[in-house]
Amino acid sequence: MTAARDTAAIDFRDVGMAYPGQAKGSELILAELSLSIPEGEFFVLVGPSGSGKSTLLKLIAGTAFPTEGEVKTFDQDIHGPDRQRGMVFQSVEGPLFDWLTVEENVGFGPKMAGADGATRRATAQRFIDMVGLKGHEHKYPSELSGGMKQRVQIARTLAADPKVVLLDEPFAALDALTRRVLQREIARIWTETGRTFLYVTHDIREAVLLGQRIGVMSRGPRASIRNIYDIDLPYPRDDLDSRFAEIVRKLEGDIEREASGQWDEM
């Protein structure tokens, strides 16, 4: 499934990026990075710590800007944050509004878009049901577990009707059991919404459970996409499958080589 470049949901062309205050050239965090993600794809990004995965997400979110090259979404330049590009963060504490109920948190995007009360509640309910929080509509974030808070974050992001959903290690702070449950659910949610998902993780097993394609970033500075794997396994994926284990092993080898710089010696 490859869309023409000019209709890609996300398109990086020869992107270089240095944070403000850094010199150009040798200080580039990302360099010569090109990546095209078609609409509706579930793309997972993995790579060594500090290579620039979160930075890449920020360039799409519109909270950082390229120093070189261009980043486009649906052939449009990105000038700043926009409801079309929603973000789910790792932290279970910061992102929710503590003074609003689950329903009000999830209905926040539609409210900002000018939806009336009835439409807001209906939209919020649809996404609350989708993330499995029916019955918790009137609770406040302080009354929820970490996993439930992440469900609210996902519902709130989706309720704003983004075309692109950016997820930065959304389950990394959760216990192993909750993480497993939510990993399975996020693939279903992606299928139900048909949106483009770009998901950053350190967890290779999670990457293979979720991604239609997995991009491996090279070690920074001057990081780019080293390899892209097509994961041709049906959903829901079975991590006991021998092909699953084989892909995990291959990716682990890639990342270990990348982190230790062995590619540079080959």
Ligand X SMILES: Nc1ncnc2c1ncn2[C@@H]1O[C@H](COP(=O)(O)OP(=O)(O)OP(=O)(O)O)[C@@H](O)[C@H]1O
For ligand X, the closer of residues 52 and 170 by Cβ is: 52
By CB under 6 A, residue 16 contacts ligand X: no
At 110, list the tokens.
């539609």
In whole angstroms, how close is the CB of 217 to ligand X at the nearest point? 7
By CB under 6 A, residue 29 contacts ligand X: yes
For ligand X, the closer of residues 103 and 168 by Cβ is: 168
β pairing state of 85-88 and 30-37: unpaired
Question: Quick one: which of 53, 85, 120, 205 contacts ligand X (CB under 6 A)?
Answer: 53
By CB under 6 A, residue 67 contacts ligand X: no
In whole angstroms, how close is the CB of 134 to ligand X at the nearest point? 33
In whole angstroms, how close is the CB of 49 to ligand X at the nearest point? 4
Only segment of 45-53, 123-131, 229-237, 246-254 that touches ligand X (CB under 6 A) = 45-53
CA dihedral for 122, 127, 129, 135, sign (positive or negative) = negative
Question: Quick one: which of 14, 19, 129, 191 contacts ligand X (CB under 6 A)?
Answer: 19
By CB under 6 A, residue 55 contacts ligand X: yes
Positions in 193-222 near ligand X (CB under 6 A)? 220
Question: Quick one: which of 54, 67, 123, 212 contacts ligand X (CB under 6 A)?
Answer: 54
Only segment of 44-52, 101-109, 150-158, 258-266 that touches ligand X (CB under 6 A) = 44-52
By CB under 6 A, residue 52 contacts ligand X: yes
Only segment of 46-54, 74-82, 108-116, 132-140 that touches ligand X (CB under 6 A) = 46-54
Question: Quick one: which of 27, 32, 50, 68 contacts ligand X (CB under 6 A)?
Answer: 50
* Tokens 């682990």 belong to residue: 252
Binding site for ligand X (CB under 6 A): 19, 29, 49-55, 220
